[in-house]
Amino acid sequence: MLLDKLFEYLGNGSAAILPKPGNNLANYVAGAILLALLGVFVDYGRMLWLRSKLVSYEIPNWIDCCKPTDLGKPPGPRPWPIVGNTFMLPDTKPWFWFEELSKKYDAQLITIWIGRNPTIWVCDAWAASDLFEKKAGIYSSRPRMIVFAELGAGQSNFLNMYTTTPAQRERWRAHRKLMHQGVGVQAVRRYRAFQNDESRVVAYDLLTRPGDYVKHFERYATSVVSIIGFGRRVESSQDPIITEVIAAMHVAADLNVPGKTFPMLMETFPALSRFPNAIAPWKHGLGRKRGRNFFYALAAEAGAQEGHEDSFVKQIFAQSEKQRLGVEEIASLTGNLFGAGSDTSSSTLITFILACCAFPETLEPAWEELDRVIGPYRSPAWEDEESLPYVKALVKEVFRWRSVAIIGGQPHAPTQDDYYKGWLIPKGSWIQGNVWAIHHNEREFPDPDRFNPKRFLADSPDSRPFPGERGYMTFGWGRRVCSGQALAEQGTWITIARILWGFRVEKTKRPDGTVVEVDINDYTNGLNWRPQPFTCSITPRSAEIGKTIRREGRQALEELEQYRGETKCEEQVCADRQIISSAGIPTGTSVRAYLIPQKRKRSNGDGATNDHEQRRKRSAASLESATEFDDAANKWRISDLEEQLAAKDAQLHRRIAEIDDLHDKQIKYQLQIQIRDENIAKQSSELKAMTAKNQLQAARIQQSDTTINQQAAELERRAAKHEQNEELQRSLLKQDILNELGQTIASALSTWSVADNNPGQQPNQSQSDFLTQDRQIKERLDKFWRQCRFLKEPDEE
Ligand code: HEM
C-alpha cells in the first residue's frame, strides 16, 4: 500500500517533484528514497509473512491430506522484494514453466509472485475440481484485474465481476441469467439451423478457397454469434466485426499473459494505470473504452431495427429497465459474445486442422465411420452425433490436446481465506487453472502430446479416470464456467464432423514431392492461443462429396439470406439516435466512428487533416500517440480499399456461384436424361424377356396337351382291351358252367336211371345215396343258375 501511495504520489503529482522556491531538492529526493526503501522493506516483510502462511501448519488432518515432504517445502520459488518472481518468468508461454515447477515441487498447486501479489496456479485436474467445482461457493469471484478489467473490458463486464458482497452477487446473477437466456444449453438448440448452415458455408468456402481456412473459421465463428446477438450474419472476412474484434482479442490475449514486462506489472502497481496514456507507454494504449462504445453502438443499431425479435440484443433491451442495465453493461453483454466467442471457437478449429496434418493416422477411423453412417450424398447432421462415437471422441481430443484458453481464461478469487491440503489460499488472491498442465498430465493422458482420440472412447485402454463427465476442463469451472460452452461444443462438433466427412486435410506437398512439415508446438503467446500460420492441403475426399458440399453450401446461403446485413459505415448513421445520445454518444455518430475515431474529421483524400496536424502539435511530446493516429488513418484508408476489394470479391463470388449453379443444372438435366434412357432400356429388355418366357410357356402347354391326348388314347385302348378280356373271361366262364351243367345233367340222368332200373335193391342204401346225389344235383343246379344270373347281361335278363 505504501508503495502504491509512493507511485501515486510520483504519478499524479509530477508537478510536486519540481523544485519550488525555498525547497531543498536534494532533501526531497533523499526523503523520497528513504520513504521508498522503508516501503520496500515493510512490503517485503509482508510478502515473506504471507509466503510462510502458504504452507500452513494449522491443518486439521494433515496426515491424510499431504505427503510429509510437502510440509515445509515452499510451493514456488522464493520471491524478491517488489518484483517477486516476475523476472524469473520465461519470455513467452509461462504455463510450461508453471507445469515444470509443479513437477519439481511435486505439488498440485504452486505460487508465483507477480510483483508483490501471489498468484496460485492449479496444475492438477483433481485439485482444480476440488477447489473450483466442489468449493464453487467460495471460488466463484474474480480478483482485481487492472489490465483485463479496469483498463480492458471493464469491471461491470460479466467476465470480470466480483461476487464478494451480496449486491455484487445479485448483479452477477442478473447477468448470468441474461447470458443463459441468450446462449444457455436450452437456448442454443434454437440456433442449430443457422449454425449448421454457417458450417455448410465453411465447407463450401474450403472447397473454393482452401488456403484461406483461417479466415473462413473466423468468419464462421463471428457470424454465428452475430446472428445470435444482432440477428444479422457476417458475410465477409473483411467485416469490421471480424477485423477489429479478433485483432483486439489477440492484443488483449497477449497483454494478459503473466510476463516480466508491462503492462502486467500494473497488476502489482495499480497506481501506474492512472497515468494518462500520452505519458504512459507501459499502458499500451489501454483504457480508451473505444470497444465498449463500438459494441454499444452496434447493439443500439441492431436493437432499433425491424425483425429478428428473438435476437439477444432485443432480449437485453427488453429487460434493460427491469434489470437496470447501464450502457456499459449492455455493451459488454453483447460484446462478450464476440470477445469471448469468436476468437476461441475459430482458434479451436485451426488447432483441429493442425492435428489433422500432424496425426493423419487418426483420420482413417473417422472416415470409415463417416462413410459407413453418412455416405457421400449428404453431410453429417445433428442427429448423427450418437452414431459417430469416434468423431465425438476426436472433437473432445481437439478440446484437450491444445485447449484454446490455455490458462483457463480469467483467474478466480476466493471470497474468504481457504486451505487446501495444508496450503493457505488467501481471500481475494489470484488463483488460476493451468489447463496446459492439467491436460498434459501423464497420469490422466498417457503420452499427452500425441493427438489420440481413443482416450475418449470408454472401452479403450488409453482412457483414464478424470473428474467430471466430459473428460476435459477446456471451458473452466464451477459457477464461472464458460457461458458459451454449449454453443461452442455443438458448433465445433458439427464443423469438425463436416470437415472430416468432406475433406482430406493433410500436409502440403512441394512440386518435388517432399512435404512441408508442421510444428505442433508453434503457437501464439496469448492466453487464448492458436497455431502460428501454417500451410496445409484441403481437398474434397471424392467428386461426389464435392458436389454435395456445393449443393448444400448454396442451399445454406439461400437459407441464411434472411440474416443478411452489414456493419454500418459512416454514411449509414445509427438509427436510434435517442439511445445513442442517452448513452453519451453524440447523435449522428456512426458505428464505424468508434473503430476509427478520426475518420469523420478527414478533410481531403491525401490523409493530411487539420485535426491530424493539430493533434501532432498538441502531442508533440507523445510520439506514440501520433504514430497511433497515423496508424488509425492508414488503417482507415486500407480498410476503404479492403471494403472495395471485398465488394468486388463478393460480386465475383456471386458470379461464380451463378455459373456453378448453371453448370450444376446442366449436369442435373444430363443426369436425368441418362437415368430416363437407362430406364427405357431396362424396361424394353424386361419386355423381351417376358415375351420369351411367354413363348416358352405356350410351347410347354402344347407339349403337355399332346401328352394328355396320348395318355387319353392309351387309356381308351386299355379300357377296350380290358373289356375284351372281361368278355373273354365271361365266355370262358360260360363254357365252364355249361360243361359243368352238362356233367351235372349227365350225372343226374345216370343217378336217376340207376334208381329206375334197380328198384328194391338195397333200397335203404340206394335210397339214401340217391337222395344225397339228388340233393347234390339240385345244389349244383342252383349254383349254376346263380352263376348264369351273374353272367347274364342286363339286356339278356
Ligand atoms: C471453444 C470455445 C470456447 C472456449 C474454449 C471458452 C473458454 C472459456 C473459459 C476457459 C472461460 C473462463 C471460465 C472460468 O473462469 O472458469 C470462459 C468464460 C466465458 N466464456 Fe467462453 N469459451 C469459448 C466460447 C465461448 C462462446 C462462444 C461464448 C459466448 C457466446 C463464451 C462466453 C463466455 C463468457 C460470457 C464467459 C465468462 C463467464 C463468467 O465469468 O462467469 N465463450 N470461456
pLDDT tens by residue, 151-198: 888 899 999 999 999 999 999 999 999 999 999 999 999 999 999 999
| pLDDT score of 479 | 96
Q: Is the pLDDT of residue 715 over 70?
A: yes
CA of 294 to the centre of ligand 1 (A): 21
Q: Is the pLDDT of residue 332 over 70?
A: yes
pLDDT in tens, 757-791: 765 555 556 677 778 877 888 888 888 778 777 66
Contacts 24+ apart (CB under 8 A), 331-334: 331/292, 331/293, 331/295, 331/296, 331/299, 332/153, 332/154, 332/156, 332/157, 332/158, 332/159, 332/292, 332/295, 333/158, 333/175, 333/178, 333/179, 333/182, 334/229, 334/230, 334/295, 334/298, 334/299
CA of 592 to the centre of ligand 1 (A): 27
ω into 263 cis (within 30 of 0):
yes
| pLDDT score of 688 | 93
Nearest Cα residue to atom 19 of ligand 1: 482
Nearest Cα residue to atom 22 of ligand 1: 482
Index of the ligand 1 atom closest to the CA of residue 435: 10
Pocket of ligand 1 contains residue 484 by CB under 6 Å: yes
3-class DSSP state of 309: coil
Backbone dihedral angles phi then psi of residue 573, each to the nearest 5 degrees: -75, 145
Lowest mean pLDDT of 32-36, 73-77, 392-396, 511-515, name the range: 73-77
How long a stretch of residues is the chain? 797
pLDDT in tens, 417-461: 998 988 889 999 999 999 999 999 999 999 999 999 999 999 999
Mean pLDDT, range 558-564, rounded to an integer: 93
Nearest Cα residue to atom 14 of ligand 1: 476
CA of 124 to the centre of ligand 1 (A): 20
Mean pLDDT, range 512-529, rounded to an integer: 94
CA of 405 to the centre of ligand 1 (A): 9
Percent of residues, the chain, with pLDDT higher than 90 = 51
Mean pLDDT, range 46-58, rounded to an integer: 64
CA of 474 to the centre of ligand 1 (A): 9
* C-alpha–C-alpha distance, residues 784 and 778, integer Å: 9
Mean pLDDT, range 96-117, rounded to an integer: 92
Which ranges of 55-93 does DSSP label H, i.e. alpha helix? 62-65
Q: Which of the pair, 775 or 537, is modelled with greater confidence?
A: 537
| pLDDT score of 617 | 42
| pLDDT score of 240 | 74
CA of 564 to the centre of ligand 1 (A): 27
Nearest Cα residue to atom 42 of ligand 1: 484
* C-alpha–C-alpha distance, residues 631 and 430, integer Å: 35
Cell, residue 742: 352238362
* C-alpha–C-alpha distance, residues 453 and 457, integer Å: 7
Index of the ligand 1 atom closest to the CA of residue 160: 40
What ipTM was estimated for this complex?
A: 0.99
Q: What is the pTM of this model?
A: 0.70
- The mean of the pLDDT values for the chain is 82
| pLDDT score of 612 | 39
Q: Which of the pair, 200 or 87, is modelled with greater confidence?
A: 200
Q: Is the pLDDT of residue 120 over 70?
A: yes
CA of 144 to the centre of ligand 1 (A): 19
| pLDDT score of 637 | 58
- The string of DSSP codes covering 212-263 is GHHHHHHHHHHHHHHHHHHS-----TTSHHHHHHHHHHHHHHHHTS--SSTT
Pocket of ligand 1 contains residue 249 by CB under 6 Å: no
Residue with cell 349227365: 746
Cell, residue 353: 486442422
Q: Is the pLDDT of residue 209 over 90?
A: yes
Q: Is the pLDDT of residue 274 over 60?
A: yes
Q: Is the pLDDT of residue 549 over 60?
A: yes
CA of 154 to the centre of ligand 1 (A): 16
Pocket of ligand 1 contains residue 473 by CB under 6 Å: no
Mean pLDDT, range 61-67, rounded to an integer: 40
Q: Is the pLDDT of residue 497 over 70?
A: yes
Pocket of ligand 1 contains residue 487 by CB under 6 Å: yes
pLDDT band (50, 70, 90) for residue 35: confident
Q: Is the pLDDT of residue 481 over 90?
A: yes
Burial of 119 (0-12, 13-18, 19+ CB in 10 A): buried
Q: Ramachandran region of residue 76, left (φ > 0), alpha (ψ -120 to 50) or beta?
A: left
Pocket of ligand 1 contains residue 496 by CB under 6 Å: no
Pocket of ligand 1 contains residue 476 by CB under 6 Å: yes
Q: Is the pLDDT of residue 271 over 60?
A: yes
Pocket of ligand 1 contains residue 406 by CB under 6 Å: no
| pLDDT score of 666 | 83
- The string of DSSP codes covering 461-526 is TT----SSSSS--TT--GGGS-TTHHHHHHHHHHHHHHHHHHEEEE--B-TTS-B----TT-B--S
Pocket of ligand 1 contains residue 183 by CB under 6 Å: yes
Pocket of ligand 1 contains residue 482 by CB under 6 Å: yes
pLDDT band (50, 70, 90) for residue 695: very high
Of the candidates 448, 419, 416, 441, the residue with the CA atom closest to the CA atom of residue 429: 416
Backbone dihedral angles phi then psi of residue 408, each to the nearest 5 degrees: 70, 25
Pocket of ligand 1 contains residue 128 by CB under 6 Å: no
| pLDDT score of 198 | 98
Index of the ligand 1 atom closest to the CA of residue 479: 41
Ligand 1: which of 176, 470, 475, 493 to mutate, most ligand atoms within 8 Å of CB? Answer: 475
114 and 85 in contact (C-beta within 8 Å)? Answer: yes
pLDDT in tens, 286-305: 877 767 777 888 888 888 88
Q: Which of the pair, 755 or 771, is modelled with greater confidence?
A: 771
Index of the ligand 1 atom closest to the CA of residue 342: 27
Cell, residue 449: 502430446
* C-alpha–C-alpha distance, residues 96 and 435, integer Å: 10
Pocket of ligand 1 contains residue 488 by CB under 6 Å: yes
Q: Is the pLDDT of residue 510 over 50?
A: yes
| pLDDT score of 509 | 95
Mean pLDDT, range 473-500, rounded to an integer: 98
Pocket of ligand 1 contains residue 143 by CB under 6 Å: no
| pLDDT score of 736 | 84
Pocket of ligand 1 contains residue 475 by CB under 6 Å: yes
Our CA angle for 84, 90, 95, nearest 5°, is 95
pLDDT band (50, 70, 90) for residue 18: very low
